[in-house]
Chains A and B, each alone.
Chain A
Amino acid sequence: GAVVSQHPSRVICKSGTSVKIECRSLDFQATTMFWYRQFPKQSLMLMATSNEGSKATYEQGVEKDKFLINHASLTLSTLTVTSAHPEDSSFYICSARLATMNTEAFFGQGTRLTVV
């Protein structure tokens, strides 16, 4: 299957700092990528849809100024958590697809963010 690589896998940062998470599709081009967040013992919740060359679409309740998404190329989307606070500590995971419709989605390894 297709490979989606996410980096870093784990990060600890101080409260008030910003953290950037990268999501790369290694062997295919992805015009659209998706960012999810997962709290302990819960399911994955969609945060935003990242569109190459245009603004991201955020789900209700997700602050676009806090979670900055950039999809500058067909193989890379980044999520920046700005002015992180302890409540932002979570598992963040990205997803990409081979084509625009009706195809299997693949996920990165996830990033475990801890804000202290």
Chain B
Amino acid sequence: GIQVEQSPPDLILQEGANSTLRCNFSDSVNNLQWFHQNPWGQLINLFYIPSGTKQNGRLSATTVATERYSLLYISSSQTTDSGVYFCASEGSGNTPLVFGKGTRLSVIA
């Protein structure tokens, strides 16, 4: 099945800095999503982005399906951006999402 790898595993940023998180996947995908897991464990949907580029405020994401990677950009980071960011993808049909191991982001004031 699909394998998902995320990098870096950990990231510490000064407030106001920008960052790029990467997600590589092993096969063609029909679905690629980015999530932020908050301190209470809830997964917050950030982007549904099997291909192309999307932006939402300070966050944006790009998926290059032909090269099997996706990037999540965080600009002007804030302490509230801290947490774990997961990338997840699925291959075909109504198969479940496979998650990467996540990037643990800490934004310090």
Residues of B within 8 A of A (CB): 30-31, 33, 35, 40-43, 45, 48, 50, 86, 88, 93-94, 96-102
Contacts and interface: CB of A to CB of B under 8 A. Distances in A.
B86 to A, nearest CB: 7
Given A32-B94, A44-B86, A101-B30, A107 B99 contact: no
A104 to B, nearest CB: 4
A interface secondary structure, majority: strand
Given A43-B102, A49-B96, A110 B41 contact: yes
A101 B96 CA distance: 10
B interface secondary structure, majority: loop
Interface of A: 1, 31-32, 34, 36, 38, 42-46, 49, 91, 93, 95, 97, 100-107, 109-110, 112
Contact of A44 (B42, B45, B93, B99): B99
Contact of A91 (B35, B41, B96, B98): B41
B37 to A, nearest CB: 9
